Every structure is written in C-alpha cells, then in structure tokens.
Amino acid sequence: MKVVIVGAGFGGLRLARKLNNRPGFEVVLVDRFNYHQFQPLFYQVATAGLDASNISFPLRKVFHGSENVRIRLAEMTQIHPERKEVVTDKESISYDSLVLALGADTNFFGNEQMARHSFPMKSTAEALQIRHSLLQNFEECLAITDHDELQRRMNIVIVGGGPTGVELAGALAEMKKYVLPKDYPELDFKKMNIYLLEGGGKTLPTMTEKSSVQSLRYLENLGVIVMTSTLVKNYDGNKVELADGKTIDAATVIWAAGVKGNVPPGFDKSKVVKGNRIKVDRHCLVEGYKNIYAIGDLAYMETPKYPNGHPQVASVAIQQAELLADYFRRIERKSTRFYEFEYIDKGSMATVGRNLAVVDIPKPRLHFGGFLAWLIWMGLHLMLILGVKNRFFVFFNWLYNYVTYDQNLRLIFREFNKPVK
C-alpha cells in the first residue's frame, strides 16, 4: 500500500513513524518545511526564551535508516481522486491511500485589517517575527520623545485567553519584570501595559473553573491587564477597537483567538464544515471517498462524547494517527475487524510563568496548580520534544532562565543584500 501523508505535524509525523519499516507499506511524507515544529513552545521562541532550532527537528533525520518512508519538500496544490494522484508545486505523486494532516492556521474571522496588522503565531517563522518586532520596537522607543506615541509603543495586546494567549501574556510579563528594565534602563517599564483580551467570560475556557480562576489570579499578580467578555472589532495598526466602543492604543497586537483547518486548494467544498474542517467518519475516512483520510486539526468527527467535533489539540491528532496506522495494517492483513476512534482525554495544562501553572486530569479527576503543576508541565513537554539534543538544550535554557532570571536569545537579525550571481 502506498500511503501519501500531507503534513508533518503531530498527526502526520506520528502516522509516518508508526508505518516506518512496516512490510507492505510505501510512505511518502509531504510538507512545506523540512522540519517538525513543536507548536506548544512557539511562545517561548517569541519571547526569546528558546531558540527556534530547539523546538524544530529535521524530518529526514527522524527517518534515518528507514526503508520505506521518503520525504518530499513541496506544497500540495490539487487532488485528483479519480486518478489517485496528488499534485504539488514540484511533482505529481500517486497514492493508494491519501492522508490529509495539514493542521490548522490562524482564523481572523474574515477581518482583513486584523490579518494585515496583527501577528499570528502558528509557525516557527511567525514566532521569530514576533520576537524581532518586540525587540525592534523597544530599540525604537529609545528615540521617541512624544508621550502618546511612546505609550502606544509600550502597549502590547494579546487577543485570545486560551493556553497560547495565557502563556504568552505570562512570559511577556516576566520579561517586563526581570529582563527589559536591565536591557533598556532609559525606559520606564511601569508604563508598559500587557493586555489579554478574551471574548468569553473566563481565561482558559476549555479547562476547569479552578484552572480559569487560578490562571486569572496568576496573570493579575504578574501585572497583566485581563479583560474578559471583551470582543475585538478591528485593529488598524495603531488602535484596537473593541465591540463596546472603547479603544486601546497599541503598536503590537498578537492574535491567538482562533484557528481554522487548512483545507487543501480545490477540495470539494461540500465536505467542509464549521471551522473549515473536513468531515470524516469514525475511521478518519473523508465522507464520500474510499481512500482519502483526514486527521488532527483538519478533521471534523462527530462521536457521542464529542457531538460537535474534537478539540483541536495535539493529543487528538496523535491518537487519530495511531488508530489510522492500525487501520491500514489491518487492511494490509485483509482483516475485517476495525476499531472506531474514541478520544481518550488525558488532561490539559497551561503555564503562566515561573512556578505557576495549572493542570487538569479528568480520570481520576485531579487538579494541580502552582509549583507542582509547573513541574508536571515541564516534564511532559520535555518528553514530547523530538531528539535528545533538543531536550537537552530546552532543559538547559529553562535551567539558565530559572537561575539567572534572564534569557540569552534577545537577538535582532537584519536582512542584508544578497550578492549578485
């Protein structure tokens, strides 16, 4: 069976690894990037806590010694189901089974001005762009004498009170407290405001009430201005306009308020449902097709426990990849016994800052907060990162930051003219 997997995120990579060196399978893994990105730590790259290389792992290195997995660095442009063929910007690839694991992208809900002027954070490159912009902004603040303009530059707005927004707000608050006053003694960081805007009534809305209350308290103790039940209407690059008519002057707005599935171009729109996701059955098979599957953030699957689809988190993608790998192996063995997907929620967590985190475990029903939750959060993330070397560097950076109250990656890289060939 020739399996073509498009997307090397958590789901696509896990599926390829499960089929690696399995007799009877030929696997082609297609992605725009030649590395796997560890998305849960993007915010630490954006706030200079980690280097981009610490959370990125070369795909080809993962499959050293593989006899049946091949990598293609390309972008899918079209699918021809009738010919069982995927068209990329480099070549056409035939398949017996096609797996769409393209993940999700930032959802600006149709607001073009917001998309143009605010920063998303769904890739390593976007996290680096945020870091560059933040540091460059403070450099430029040193030469500004106009009080209003300086205040606008010192305001940072984060839209979205989920785990990404909460973790980013906490990291920026700690930079404001421990790092930035030493880097820029000319600036008064008491005037720096970090706003976290959440449309719902609480932070971490998908977690327990205890976690929401604790995270709010942690953020407020760090000096973050948390505004719940607050909807953002627009942002023109200078002023954030809220739905209630109020405004916030800000030079930096980071959007962490929503995601939408990366539906491939030309895909049958009748199969696309709410959230720009592709509807699949309990075996991850796209409805209406015999050999096209979707997993992870892109897949919309209704089950009795999740009638509105599963949460768009890494654990869902990983579990769907494992089920699909087993499904393919059973097909190869000509078995007629298949298992339907049932998501096992092992819990959720978020860190707010130094010694501050929240962890929810559904079975047995447990909640942790503070230092113990922070240790659990660190331990789990270290285990999930690919590569011993990456784990070492991440742990070393965390240890260095914890001991010194400092980050050592506040570098601004400028683009120079390339030599003419």
For residue range 20-42, what is the model confidence (pLDDT) as tens digits?
999 999 999 999 999 999 999 99
Give me the number of domains the chain comprises.
Answer: 2
Instruction: Over range 400-406, report the average pLDDT.
Output: 89
Distance, CA of 255 to chain centre = 12
Are 125 and 229 members of one domain?
Answer: yes
Report the pLDDT value the prediction gives residue 209, as an integer from 0 to 100. Answer: 96
Mean pLDDT of 40-48: 94
- Is 133 a domain residue? yes
Is the same domain home to 175 and 311? no
pLDDT of residue 421: 47
Distance in angstroms (rounded) separating the CA atoms of residues 26 and 257: 39
Tell whether 125 and 202 lie within a shared domain: yes
pLDDT tier at 419, thresholds 50, 70, 90: low
Verify that 219 and 317 share a domain, yes or no. no
**What mean pLDDT do residues 355-384 have?**
94
Write the burial class of residue 415 (CB in 10 Å: 0-12 exposed, 13-18 middle, 19+ buried): exposed
Q: How far apart are CA 374 and CA 79, in angstroms?
A: 44
Residue 322: inside a domain, yes or no?
A: yes
226, 257, 288 - which closes a domain: 257
Q: So what's the pLDDT on residue 417?
A: 53
Report how far residue 124's alpha carbon sits from residue 208's, in angstroms, rounded to the nearest whole number. 29
Q: What is the CATH number of the domain that holds 190?
A: 3.50.50.100
Residue 304's CATH number: 3.50.50.60
Q: Which of 257, 287, 309 is the last residue of a domain?
A: 257
Pairing outcome for strands 356-361 and 366-369: antiparallel
For the segment 369-391, the average pLDDT, to the nearest whole number, is 92
Asked if residue 45 lies in contact with residue 51, where contact means CB atoms within 8 angstroms, the answer is yes
Tell me the CA distances in angstroms from 267 to 90, 220, 294, 421, one per residue in order.
19, 45, 12, 40
Q: How far is CA 276 from CA 9, 285, 320, in A?
A: 18, 17, 19
Residue range(s) defining the domain that contains residue 11: 2-106+259-332
Same domain, yes or no: 136 and 230: yes
User: Do 121 and 248 have their domain in common?
Assistant: yes
| 241 shares its domain with 142 | yes
Distances (CA, A) of 62 to 261, 329, 414: 26, 21, 31
265 lies in the same domain as 253: no
- Domain boundary among the residues 278, 313, 332 is at 332
Band (pLDDT 50/70/90 cuts) for residue 405 is: confident
Shared domain check, 14 and 39:
yes
pLDDT at 23: 94
Domain presence at residue 45: yes
Predicted confidence (pLDDT) at residue 415 exceeds the cutoff of 60:
no
Asked if 238 and 301 sit in the same domain, the reply is no
- Could you tell me how many residues make up the chain? 421
Q: What is the pTM assigned to this prediction?
A: 0.92
Please answer whether residues 299 and 262 qualify as being in contact, where contact means their C-beta atoms are separated by less than 8 angstroms.
no
Same domain as 86, residue 213: no
> Does 355 reside within a domain?
no
For residue 274, tell me if it sits in a domain: yes
Question: Do 203 and 284 share a structural domain?
Answer: no
Asked whether residue 202 carries a pLDDT value surpassing 60, the answer given is yes
Check pLDDT > 80 for residue 413: no
Residue type, 232: V
Establish if 372 belongs to a structural domain: no
- DSSP secondary structure letters along 193-230: EEEEE-SSSSSSTTS-HHHHHHHHHHHHHTT-EEE-S-
Question: What is the CB-side half-sphere exposure of residue 234 using CA atoms within 13 A?
Answer: 5
Mean pLDDT (whole number) for 364-389: 93
Provide the pLDDT for residue 408. 75
On whether residue 373 sits in a domain, the answer given is no
Burial tier of 91 (Cβ tally within 10 Å: 0-12, 13-18, 19+)? exposed
Can you name the residues that pair with 80 across neighbouring β-strands? Answer: 85
Does residue 314 belong to any structural domain of this protein? Answer: yes
